[in-house]
């Protein structure tokens, strides 16, 4: 039994989307912490 | 190490794609950047608390980023593609299960912060919780793991820079470790966590760009078709070794995070209430990284790219497909992932050495200044040790790393039990760590690396559970927050009890 093509697609594309969201989340947190002066 | 080896070599990318000159320029640029940032942030590290735990006030942005960056080691960017190349889709998924360790550590980090608001290290917790009996095996495992990880990262630095740009192994390895030692020395935990934020962004963006560029060049349909024809095992749902590695890697991840001072020191460094959120978010951000990196490994057989060393398959695919630009991006990603782990290890292990080896040996409590100086000395010592062991370039990355797997797997239950159960006792913890490590190592040599952590964690869990049933303790968790050696009351530790009396 083999992994189907659609699963490979979901994994690769899904992982790329999650990575992109990660970048956005980190920048959003940085801006929020900067505004609240809670960086350190 | 068992598993499929890269035997097809239609297009062996042996020559470095990036010129050595470009490599040296990038190395110089990033070295100057990290050291400058280390000096800049180092101005904040006036006290030992500032140097060791960044003033215990790190916010959510830096807290999340440091969890992500530290867990994205060069082993993630190198071994995840190797896992995929050797174990197929399950291999990439197996690597991503290491993020479960971050999820599980999230609530633990909050409890650690509450129980030990002025703590510094994981060994300090074990010493107060289990006394000398639990401390000895735990300290040995912690130091062994930290040094193994440090050496493997240093070796990875030399190897990667050599593969990508032709910089001699000895030069690349030396530059990586010297730069990390310098900026950790200047900035302590402030520099480590600050640079982690920048490094995590660079790594994530770099991986996205490389994977997208590879997707533009090849179609996933082609990858699937060629794998089905030439390497069907890589797509097999029932690949035994890969399925074993799934659970093994998860337990390895639990063991690594639960026991390592790299993670404990961050729990102490984060502002009250930030740790659980930062670790959970860090897990979500880290989860897709091995899958993206693993995709590069899966693409290798489909593209007919053979590699002489499996742990460099990811960078080789990117460099071969994308040429100079790809190699440059991978170079930067790898340098960042190396630095983010090496600096964390240097800082956390020096804390261990100062607080759990040197301070207990000294007859008096050292001053703040003395501890800061001792930390600096230990960072230099660790850097030199790592450099000298990595210099001969012996063994593959996976072999070096997975050797520590069963040992850290055997620490899972003593740590979890010690944090949450009053009944956990020193003898059970000690026996669990020792028997788990021994049985795990036997499994490592007789069966394979892909079951060693699993066996270590299972045996340790069974022994620890029996120990709790046979001889339950009644530990007072409030005693963990008491500052100072003379006031601690470890359960089931006659020596400490005698000292108290």
Over the stretch B127-151, which tens digit does the pLDDT of each residue have? Answer: 999 999 999 999 999 999 999 889 8
Which residues of chain A neighbour B224 with C-beta distances below 8 Å? 5, 8
How close B290 gets to chain A, by Cα (Å)?
Answer: 9
How close B240 gets to chain A, by Cα (Å)?
Answer: 13
- Cα B355 to Cα B53, B150, B182, B214: the distances in Å are 13, 19, 21, 47
Angle between helices B20-42 and B169-217 (to 10 degrees): 100
Is A12 in contact with B292 (Cβ distance < 8 A)? yes
Residue B57 buriedness (CB in 10 A; 0-12 / 13-18 / 19+): middle
SS3 readout for B413-427: HHHHHHHHCCCCCHH
What mean pLDDT comes out for the span B362-371? 88
Which residues of chain B neighbour A17 with C-beta distances below 8 Å? 288
The ipTM assigned to this model is 0.96
Long-range contacts at B40-44 (CB < 8 A, ≥ 24 apart):
B40/B187, B41/B187, B41/B190, B41/B191, B41/B194, B42/B186, B42/B187, B42/B188, B42/B190, B42/B191, B44/A40, B44/B187, B44/B190
How close A10 gets to chain B, by Cα (Å)?
Answer: 11
Give the confidence band of B17 by pLDDT, cuts at 50, 70, 90.
low
**Least confident stretch, B12-26, B80-94, B381-395, B428-442:** B12-26
Residue in B44, B58, B237 nearest the CB of A2: B237
DSSP 3-state helix, strand, coil percentages of chain B (rounded to 5)? 80, 0, 20
Which residues of chain B neighbour A35 with C-beta distances below 8 Å? none
Give the confidence band of B242 by pLDDT, cuts at 50, 70, 90.
confident
What mean pLDDT comes out for the span B95-123? 94
**Least confident stretch, B103-107, B276-280, B344-348, B361-365:** B361-365
Structure tokens of A31?
A: 């801006």
How close A26 gets to chain B, by Cα (Å)?
Answer: 6
Is the model's pLDDT at B198 over the cut of 90?
Answer: yes
Residue in A11, A23, A25 nearest the CB of B205: A23
Residue B495's pLDDT is 41
What mean pLDDT comes out for the span B228-241? 83
Is A18 in contact with B284 (Cβ distance < 8 A)? yes
Residue in A1, A3, A11 nearest the CB of B291: A11
Percentage above 90 pLDDT, chain B: 54
Half-sphere exposure of B128 (CA within 13 A, CB side): 25
Is the model's pLDDT at B302 over the cut of 90?
Answer: no
Which residues of chain B neighbour A5 with C-beta distances below 8 Å? 220-221, 224
Residue in B44, B201, B224 nearest the CB of A5: B224
Is A26 in contact with B200 (Cβ distance < 8 A)? yes
pLDDT for B44-90, tens place per residue? 888 999 999 999 999 999 999 999 998 887 667 777 888 888 888 88
Q: How many CB atoms lie within 10 A of CB B380?
A: 16
Integer Cα distance of B446 and B433 in angstroms: 20
Interface mutation target, options A22, A24, A35, chain B, most CBs of B under 10 Å: A22
Residue in B59, B232, B285 nearest the CB of A33: B59
Residue B494's pLDDT is 44
Is A33 in contact with B62 (Cβ distance < 8 A)? yes
Interface mutation target, options B288, B295, B301, B337, chain A, most CBs of A under 10 Å: B288
Report the predicted TM-score, pTM, of the whole model to 2 decimal places: 0.88
Q: Cβ(B253)–Cβ(B290) under 8 Å? A: no
Q: Cβ(B403)–Cβ(B107) under 8 Å? A: no
Q: Cβ(B374)–Cβ(B354) under 8 Å? A: yes
Is B55 in contact with A26 (Cβ distance < 8 A)? no
Integer Cα distance of B385 and B366 in angstroms: 25
Residue B243's pLDDT is 80
Residue in B54, B89, B284 nearest the CB of A3: B89
- Cα first-last separation, chain A: 51
Which residues of chain B neighbour A40 with C-beta distances below 8 Å? 44, 54-55, 57-59, 62, 190
Integer Cα distance of B432 and B330 in angstroms: 41
Residue in A15, A26, A38 nearest the CB of B65: A26
Structure tokens of B321?
A: 């497909």
Integer Cα distance of B472 and B491 in angstroms: 10
Is B235 in contact with A2 (Cβ distance < 8 A)? yes
Q: Cβ(B490)–Cβ(B128) under 8 Å? A: yes
**Least confident stretch, B171-175, B366-370, B480-484:** B480-484
Residue B241's pLDDT is 75
Which residues of chain B neighbour A22 with C-beta distances below 8 Å? 68, 204, 284-285, 288
Give the confidence band of B30 by pLDDT, cuts at 50, 70, 90.
very high
């Amino acid at each position: 039994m083999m992994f189907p093509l659609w699963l490979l697609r979901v994994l690769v594309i899904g992982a790329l989307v999650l990575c992109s969201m990660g970048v956005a989340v980190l920048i959003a947190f940085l801006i929020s912490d900067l505004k609240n002066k809670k960086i350190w | 190490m068992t598993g499929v080896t890269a035997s097809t070599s239609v297009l062996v990318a042996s020559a470095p794609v990036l010129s050595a000159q470009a490599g040296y320029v990038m190395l110089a640029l990033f070295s100057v950047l990290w050291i400058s940032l280390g000096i800049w942030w180092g101005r904040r590290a006036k006290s030992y608390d500032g140097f060791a735990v960044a003033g215990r006030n790190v916010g959510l942005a830096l807290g999340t980023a440091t969890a992500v960056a530290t867990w994205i080691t060069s082993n993630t960017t190198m071994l995840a593609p190797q896992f995929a190349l050797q174990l197929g889709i399950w291999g990439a998924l197996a690597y991503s299960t290491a993020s479960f360790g971050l999820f599980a550590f999230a609530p633990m980090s909050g409890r650690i912060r509450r129980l030990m608001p002025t703590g510094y290290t994981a060994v300090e917790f074990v010493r107060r919780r289990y006394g000398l009996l639990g401390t000895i095996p735990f300290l040995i495992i912690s130091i062994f793991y930290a040094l193994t990880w440090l050496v493997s990262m240093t070796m990875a630095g030399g190897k990667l820079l050599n593969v990508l740009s032709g910089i001699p192994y000895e030069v690349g390895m030396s530059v990586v470790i010297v730069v990390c030692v310098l900026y950790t020395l200047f900035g302590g935990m402030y520099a480590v966590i600050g640079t982690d934020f920048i490094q995590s962004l660079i790594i994530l963006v770099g991986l996205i760009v490389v994977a997208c560029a590879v997707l533009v060049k090849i179609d996933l349909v082609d990858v699937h078709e060629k794998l089905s024809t030439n390497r069907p095992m890589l797509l097999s749902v029932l690949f035994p070794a890969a399925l074993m590695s799934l659970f093994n890697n998860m337990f390895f991840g639990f063991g690594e995070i639960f026991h390592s001072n790299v993670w404990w020191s961050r729990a102490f460094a984060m502002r009250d209430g930030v740790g659980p959120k930062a670790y959970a978010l860090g897990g979500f951000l880290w989860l897709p990284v091995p899958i993206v990196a693993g995709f590069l490994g899966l693409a290798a057989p489909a593209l007919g790219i053979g590699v002489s060393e499996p742990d460099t398959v990811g960078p080789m695919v990117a460099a071969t497909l994308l040429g100079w630009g790809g190699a440059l991006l991978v170079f930067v990603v790898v340098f960042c992932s190396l630095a983010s782990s090496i600096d964390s290890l240097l800082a956390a292990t020096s804390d261990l050495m100062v607080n759990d080896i040197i301070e207990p040996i000294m007859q008096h409590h050292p001053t703040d200044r003395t501890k800061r100086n001792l930390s600096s000395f230990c960072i230099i010592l660790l850097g030199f040790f790592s450099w000298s062991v990595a210099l001969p370039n012996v063994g593959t990355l996976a072999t070096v790393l997975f050797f520590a797997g069963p040992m850290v797997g055997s620490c899972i239950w003593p740590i979890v039990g010690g944090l949450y159960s009053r009944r956990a006792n020193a003898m059970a913890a000690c026996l669990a760590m020792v028997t788990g490590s021994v049985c795990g190592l036997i499994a490592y040599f007789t069966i394979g690396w892909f079951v060693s952590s699993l066996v270590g964690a299972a045996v340790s869990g069974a022994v620890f559970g029996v120990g709790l049933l046979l001889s339950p303790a009644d530990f007072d968790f409030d005693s963990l927050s008491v500052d100072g050696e003379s006031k601690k009351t470890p359960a089931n530790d006659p020596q400490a009890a005698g000292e108290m009396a």
